Every structure is written in structure tokens, then in C-alpha cells.
Structure 1
Amino acid sequence: MKTRAAVAFEAGKPLEIVEVDLEGPKAGEVLVEIKATGICHTDEFTRSG
């Protein structure tokens, strides 16, 4: 299954949206569609270097 992810490849650089391959849901799991997301202050501080 292909999806997109915001990835930090280097501290202090902008996040890059890349296409990634993920396994689909397994038995007993569900697939959830995400409509929106955010980033918390702590994650942004860590990403900024």
C-alpha cells in the first residue's frame, strides 16, 4: 500500500512529503483514513535541531 509521509531527513531543514510503501492491515486490524494532522511543539523543537 502506498501512502505519503512528512519526513525529516536533516535537522533544521523543512519536512519533505515522500511516498512510502506500507503493509496493509493484517487480520484483526483496521485501516483508518487521516483527514488532518499536526505537529507538537516538542517535535518541532527536535526537528529544528
Structure 2
Amino acid sequence: MEVKAAVAFEAGKPLSIETVQVAEPKAGEVMVEIKATGVCHTDAYTLSGADPEGLFPAILGHEGAGLTSPPVETRGILQCCYKAG
């Protein structure tokens, strides 16, 4: 499926909003519609070009928040990392 992503093509350059391909969810997976994501210090370090392990192009931001669609096979509660409430 096609989705929008902020892509870093090279160090020190602005991110570019691009259409990218993402695989459809498989059995047992859910889709998360990302509403916001943080860019942490590690992402900024990579984008600066100072990270020797930084690879480009890159889609940065691993601190996502969003809405889940129902699971592919069954409906249930999804809990990841934090207790709801």
C-alpha cells in the first residue's frame, strides 16, 4: 500500500515528504495509522551526518503514536509497552 513518510535522503538536508510502499498486514498483525511521531536525539544524530552507522535514505522517528485498525484475524486488545489508562 502507498503511505506518506518524511524521508532523509542525505545528512544535513531537509526531510522530504514522499510516497512509499508498505506491505499489507499479515495474519496476526495490525495496522497502525500514525498520527504523530517524535524525532529523538538518535534520529537527530543520524540526520546530522555524525553517526558513523547512519544510512541514507532513511525514514526516521520510531516513537510513533496512532490508531490501530482491527487485527487481521480477530478483534482484541493491543497493549504495547505501556499500560492503558
TM-score range, shorter chain: 0.7 to 0.9
Number of aligned residues: 49
Percent identical residues: 69
What is the TM-score with the length of structure 2 in the denominator?
Answer: 0.53
**Paired letter, 1:35:** K
Asked if 1:2 corresponds to 2:9, the answer is no
Name stretches of at least 5 consecutive residues in structure 2 with no aligned partner.
50-85
Structure with more contact order per residue of length (Cα contacts < 8 Å, sep ≥ 6): 1
Instruction: Decide which structure has greater helix share.
Output: 1
Kindly provide the CA deviation profile for residues 1-49 of structure 1, in whole angstroms up to 9, marking residues without a partner as x: 1101111111110111100111110011111111111100221122022
| Distance in 1 separating the partners of 2:34 and 2:40 | 17
User: Which is greater in Rg?
Assistant: 2
| Distance in 1 separating the partners of 2:35 and 2:4 | 13
Aligned to 1:40: 40
Instruction: Decide which structure has greater strand share.
Output: 2
| Distance in 2 separating the partners of 1:33 and 1:16 | 19
